Amino acid sequence: MRTVSILGATGSVGASTLDLIECEPERFRVRALTANCDVAGLAAAAIRTRAELAVVADETCLPALREALRGTDIGATGGPKAVSEAAALGADWTMAAIVGCAGLEPVMAAVAAGGTVVLANKEPLVSAGEVILAAARASGATLLPADSEHNAIFQCFDFQRPDRVRRIVLTASGGPFRTRSLADMARVTPEQAVAHPTWAMGAKISVDSATIMNKGLELIEAARLFPVAPERIEIVVHPQSIVHGMVDYVDGSMLAQLGPSDMRTPIAHCLAWPDRMPTPMEPLDFVKLGRLDFEAPDPVRFPALRLAREALDAGGARPAILNAANEIAVAAFLDRRVQFLEIAAVVADTLERYDPPSPTTLEAVLAVDGEARAIAAALCKDLTA
């Protein structure tokens, strides 16, 4: 029996992970489940899975959590530090599924504890990739990618012969505005932006998919995870979201991973790895699918991808600034304080205004992240005024 913890258990990835674990209760024992403030969702999941510990990052929610768990022997703690302490408990398998850089310190705590750390939460890897990878080397932790594209590449990549890989290809759905004009995109609402055509996901990543910043973050994530030069990582729009990633070898062979647009497939791969486990998903029906389309991303309507590539090429603090500014701008858009097209503009402006030295420690990354957030927040305020 393996012990598992889920950071961000009440979110979209958290729910998919719980679904798989609850299908095979004899294989998994739950140690810690964490949330921000969804007490009802967290308590229900903790009770169903007989978790040892439930944690809310928002400490003001702790009394309600204690109340919801009264009469059980499930521990309850609260505050950002308590989330990192839960991550440090050292489960055999930890799902990192908090949204944004709020997950950075918990990811670092889980990595320092060793075991297998499964990364859905891509923002920490974008902002602090080298710091996280160095910590994993030091602790011996195994990092597995749950993001569907990276999981696909992980399944197809020949790590024994990386020099035989010509390029890797990440697919992008193109989001809900793939065929919209710039004039239309200027007026879209948060409700339209989160209505993703192929994936059911949390609000932040849904907006990132609509701006295609999500693919920009994934480009940087791929460069951290795989021994491939950035210029050999290609992005292709594939509206059906069936082919998740491809590895092109020097002999002209291309290996692709295909699967349903359902996170339970890559999560199951990480849960069972190096074995396989069954999932409730139907097999793909190619006759029903009929066709698979591919097209180039439009750099004019979706400038976020170019910003991310430039940040990756420049390195240093640039990816952390890109990510922090994007988190602030997306939150402002969801709050109706800025327009959809202003998200990428805020990110570009923040990158323009702030150019600190390369951060090499967790503390330095957090300082860059904090300063970039302050600059982006001021820019959003100016746009609202």
| Binding stretches for ligand NDP (CB under 6 A) | 8-14, 35-38, 57, 83, 97-99, 102, 120-123, 147, 199, 201-202, 204-205, 263
94 vs 121 by CB, closer to ligand NDP: 121
Smallest Cα–Cα separation from 132: which of 105, 95, 99?
A: 105
Strands (E), 218-374: 233-237, 243-249, 254-258
33 vs 163 by CB, closer to ligand NDP: 33
79 vs 90 by CB, closer to ligand NDP: 79
How far is Cα of residue 158 from the mean position of the Cα atoms in its chain?
A: 24
- Shortest distance in whole angstroms from residue 38 CB to ligand NDP: 3
- Shortest distance in whole angstroms from residue 64 CB to ligand NDP: 12
How far is Cα of residue 80 from the mean position of the Cα atoms in its chain?
A: 19
- Shortest distance in whole angstroms from residue 347 CB to ligand NDP: 16
| Cis peptide preceding 274, ω within 30 of 0 | yes
Cβ atoms of residues 132 and 124 within 8 Å = yes
| Contacts for 246 with CB less than 8 Å, ≥ 6 apart | 152, 153, 156, 168, 169, 171, 254, 255, 256, 257
Q: Which two tokens stand for residue 179?
A: 């065929």
Centre a 10 Å sphere on the Cβ of residue 234 and count the other Cβ atoms it contains: 14
- Shortest distance in whole angstroms from residue 13 CB to ligand NDP: 4
Strand partners of residue 165:
249
- Shortest distance in whole angstroms from residue 35 CB to ligand NDP: 4
182 vs 245 by CB, closer to ligand NDP: 245
Burial of residue 358 (CB within 10 Å: 0-12, 13-18, 19+) is: middle
- Shortest distance in whole angstroms from residue 54 CB to ligand NDP: 11
Centre a 10 Å sphere on the Cβ of residue 168 and count the other Cβ atoms it contains: 22
83 vs 237 by CB, closer to ligand NDP: 83
Residue type (1 letter), 154: F
12 vs 77 by CB, closer to ligand NDP: 12
- Shortest distance in whole angstroms from residue 197 CB to ligand NDP: 13
30 vs 97 by CB, closer to ligand NDP: 97
16 vs 350 by CB, closer to ligand NDP: 16
Report how far residue 190's alpha carbon sits from residue 169's, in angstroms, rounded to the nearest whole number.
29
Edge to edge, the sheet with strand 2-7 lists: 75-78, 53-56, 28-35, 2-7, 93-96, 116-119, 142-145
- Shortest distance in whole angstroms from residue 39 CB to ligand NDP: 8
